[in-house]
Amino acid sequence: MTTELAVEALAVEAHGLVKHFGTTKAVDGIDLAIPTGTVYGVLGPNGAGKTTAVRMLGTLLRPDAGTATVLGHDVRHDADAVRGLIGLTGQFASVDEDLTGTENIVLIARLYGFSRGAARARAAELLSAFELDEAADRPVKTFSGGMHRRIDLAASMVISPRVLFLDEPTTGLDPRSRNQVWDIIRVLVDDGATVLLTTQYLEEADLLADRIAVIDHGKVIAEGTATELKASVGSSSVHLRLADAGQRTLAHQVMSRTLGVPVLLATDTSALSARITSARDAQDLLPQLFHAGVEVAEISLGQPSLDEVFLSLTGHHAEATDDATEEVA
C-alpha cells in the first residue's frame, strides 16, 4: 500500500455513527477514539449494536450517519485503503468450511497478490504458528471450535494487518482455546497492531483491554479503563460463593442483615455480592454466615466486578437473559 508508515495517534476514530435497520436503531450515535497499539474492548450484551458497529468500521456496512476513519482513511470514501490495512474476524467473517486450512489461506494470499509459491509458503508459516499444521490438509468443517477460531484469526493475518477487528473472538470457546486466542491478541498488540475486540464477557474486557466502551441499545454508556469504570461505581464490594446454591436465600438474609446494604444476586445461582463503603464493614460477615449454617465456598473483597459496573450503568446484567436481574432489598 502507500506511504502509511507515519504513525497515526488514533488507529480508529468514529463520530456519531448511526445505523438503522427499519425502525430498529442498531447503532444510535457512537463515538470512538482508539489509540494506536492498544486493545480496545467494546462490551455489551447481545443485540447492543457491537457487531453492527464493527461491520461499519470494517467497511462491510455503510453508516446512515456519522463518520469513521481507520488510520486516517475514511471508511466510506476510502474503503479500499481501509481494507488494505485491516483484518476482520468474527461471527460474520469466517473461512470456507469446504476447503482445507491451507487452501483457505492460499486463497486469501492469492487475492492479496501473493504468487502461487509465496502464498503456499505464507499458508505453511501461518498454520504452523497457529498450531494448525497437523490439520492443514483437512477441510475446515472437521475442525474443533478452537481450531476454527484460530484458522479464522490466521486468515485475518495474511498481510499482518495494522488494525484488527475481532467480533466476539472467544464466544463459545473452551477455556484452553480462549487462552490461546488471548495469547494471540497480546502478541499482536506487542507488535504494534491495534485490536478492537467486542465481547459479552466482562472478564475478557477486564483482562485484555486497555480501554473499554460499554455499549447498550446502540449507545456508548460509559468509557474508560477497567479501573476507571469500576471506580465510577465507587466503593468496594464483597463477593460470596456458596457451596450449595439452595442456601442462597438464607445467605441473602444473613448478608443484608449483617451489612445493612442491598445484596445483589449474581447470574451465577450460587453467588451473591454487595457494595460496601469499606472492607471493615464486612468483618462480621463470615462469623455470621458460619453461625447461620451457610456453607461458604469462596468469599472475597475487592473492587466491584464489571458485571456490577454494567448493572449500575444499565440497570441490567451484561450477560443477563432476563429474570436474573432482580435486586432484593
Residue numbers at the binding site for other proteins (CB under 8 A): 1, 21, 55, 58-62, 80-81, 83-84, 86, 88, 90-100, 103, 107-108, 110-115, 118, 125-126, 128-135, 139, 144, 147, 155, 157, 159-160, 162, 176, 179-180, 183-184, 186-188, 190-193
Minimum CB separation of residue 157 from other proteins in Å reads 5
The rounded distance, in Å, linking the Cα atoms of 98 and 95 is 9
Residue with cell 473499554: 212
Minimum CB separation of residue 237 from other proteins in Å reads 27
Minimum CB separation of residue 243 from other proteins in Å reads 26
If phi over 0 gives left and psi between -120 and 50 gives alpha, with beta otherwise, what is residue 192?
left
Q: What angle do CA 50, 54, 55 make, to 5 degrees?
A: 115
Closer by beta carbon to other proteins, 66 or else 139: 139
Closer by beta carbon to other proteins, 136 or else 318: 136
| Cα R_g (the chain), whole angstroms | 23
Minimum CB separation of residue 284 from other proteins in Å reads 38
Closer by beta carbon to other proteins, 75 or else 272: 75
Closer by beta carbon to other proteins, 147 or else 196: 147
Other beta carbons within 10 Å of 193: 21
Closer by beta carbon to other proteins, 115 or else 283: 115
DSSP H helices in the chain: 50-57, 79-83, 101-112, 116-129, 145-156, 175-190, 202-208, 226-233, 248-259, 285-292, 306-314
Minimum CB separation of residue 240 from other proteins in Å reads 27
DSSP 139: B
